[in-house]
Amino acid sequence: MTSSIKNIFTNIAVVLPMAMLFFACADNYRRVGEEAGKKIFPQGIANNFVLTYTETVDELGTQDLKSTKVIAVLTSPVSEDFQNLRFPYRTFPNGLVLDVYDKDSQKSVVKADYGIMYSLTNLIDLQGNVVIETHDGKRLEAPQLYYDQNNEWIFTQGEFTYTNPEDGTVMDGEGMDFNRNLSFFKAHKTYGLMMIKEELK
C-alpha cells in the first residue's frame, strides 16, 4: 500500500511541474510597434471592373486621330488596387475573365478564380480552376498559371491538362511553358492519351 501511495506522489511530482511548464509557455504577449502585423488595405476597390488593352501600328502624337486595335479585355466582378505599396499589385479576389485577340481578331479566353497582377514585373499570377480556351478549340486547364506580359510567355511548375481537338490528344503533365497563342508548347513531364488516325488502303 505504501509503495502505491509513493508511486502516486512520484507521478504527481513529475506531472505537476510539466503541466506548469506547458502553461507557462503560452504566448500572451501583445505585439506593438514594429513587430505588430500591419494590416494592408487597398487604396481603391472597383466593382464590375473592365480594362481594355489597345495598340496602334504607329506611335500616336498628341493630336493624332488614328484608330487603335483591341488586343485584350479584362473583366472582373471586383478589383482591389494596391498600387501605393513599395511592390505594387492589383488583385482580383472574385475571379477574372481575359479575352485575348490575335492579329486576325480571333478571340481566346482565359478564366481563373483568383488573380494578382504585379505592376513592376508585369507578371500575372492566375490561381484556381485556370482555363485557357483558344479560338481553334484547344483547352488548357491548371490550378495555377503565370503569365509574363513582357515576353508573352505562360508557365507553371504544377499539374495541367491540355486538350487538342485537332489531333485528338489529351495530355496530362507537370510543369510546362508556352507562348500566348499556344503555337509553341513545351511540357516538362507528361502522361496522357493520344489518338492516332490510321489510313486504310
Question: The domain spanning residue 65 has which CATH number?
Answer: 2.60.450.10
Within a domain: 78: yes
SS3 103: coil
What gap in Å lies between CA 46 and CA 54, rounded to an integer?
21
User: In 3D, which of 27, 28, 180 has the Cα closest to residue 98?
Assistant: 180
The mean of the pLDDT values for the chain is: 80
Residue 198 confidence (pLDDT) above 70: no
**Which pLDDT tens digit goes with each residue over 31-68?**
665 666 677 888 889 999 998 888 876 776 666 666 77
Percent of the chain with pLDDT over 70: 70
In a domain, 18, yes or no: no
State the pairing for strand pair 69-82/44-55. Answer: antiparallel
* Nearest CA-CA partner of 128 in 140, 109, 145, 108: 145
Query: What is the end-to-end Cα distance of the chain in Å, rounded?
Result: 98
159: Cβ contacts below 8 Å, ≥ 6 apart: 142, 143, 172, 173, 174
Q: Which phi and psi angles does 57 have, rounded to 5°?
A: -70, -45
Per the domain annotation, does 108 fall within a domain?
yes
Position 141 pLDDT exceeds 80: yes
Query: Residue 185 — very low, low, confident or very high, per pLDDT cuts 50/70/90?
Result: confident
Residue 97 in this model has a pLDDT that exceeds 90:
yes
Judge whether 22 lies within some domain. no
Q: What is the pLDDT of residues 148-172, one digit of tens each?
A: 888 888 888 899 988 888 878 888 8
Q: 10 lies in a domain?
A: no
Of all helices (H) and strands (E), which one includes residue 46? strand 44-55
Give me the number of domains the chain comprises. 1
99 domain-assigned: yes
Judge whether 83 lies within some domain.
yes
Site of grid cell 506522489: 9
Q: What is the pLDDT of residue 164?
A: 84
Which set of grid coordinates corresponds to residue 185? 508548347
Domain membership flag for residue 4:
no
pLDDT value for 75: 94
AA identity, residue 40 = I
Domain span holding position 56: 45-194
State the average pLDDT over residues 120-131: 92
